[in-house]
Structure 1
Amino acid sequence: MSREEFSVLPIHLKIRTLFIEGTFVVGIRYYQHKVNLYLLDNEYVEVFYNHKLDKIDQIEYLQRDHSRMKFYLDQIKIVN
């Protein structure tokens, strides 16, 4: 599945795709969210879980130049 195809999926299908095809890498706390990082087809995808509301707020690809990347760098190997 391409990045574009994944990006337009409804959230429940993104979750299913990550569960079946993705690999969990690490989880971090980021403000009011627990963010789980997955590897999907050599791309990193973040799942933002709001524990106060008990719901996933968003699922998006992590841009390699995003400032949040520093929280993951000791846990991941960047793939080109």
Structure 2
Amino acid sequence: MIGRETLKKHARLVDLMASKLGIDLEERALRGDINFDEISDAVLACTGCSHPCTCERWLDAMPVPQNDTPEYCRNRPLFKGLKNA
């Protein structure tokens, strides 16, 4: 079972990644571009990533906005779809 702190950490990573890409997840959810279940699924996918520390360093180092996620991002297709919507 995934602990609460792990979920919070990965929810933060998903939100930061979206922000780095110029995507406001809350706004996009309100517009109907993504639903809250999809955001929850993105967080769960992130918890399965083997690179969370690398991701944190990438997020800290990269300027805003970025065009794409790192290759290893498990939510790359989701973010790419939102960027192109």
Which bin holds the TM-score, normalised by the shorter protein?
Answer: under 0.3
Give the number of the structure with larger relative contact order, counting CA–CA contacts within 8 Å between residues 6 or more apart.
Answer: 2
- More strand per residue: 1 or 2? 1
- More helix per residue: 1 or 2? 2
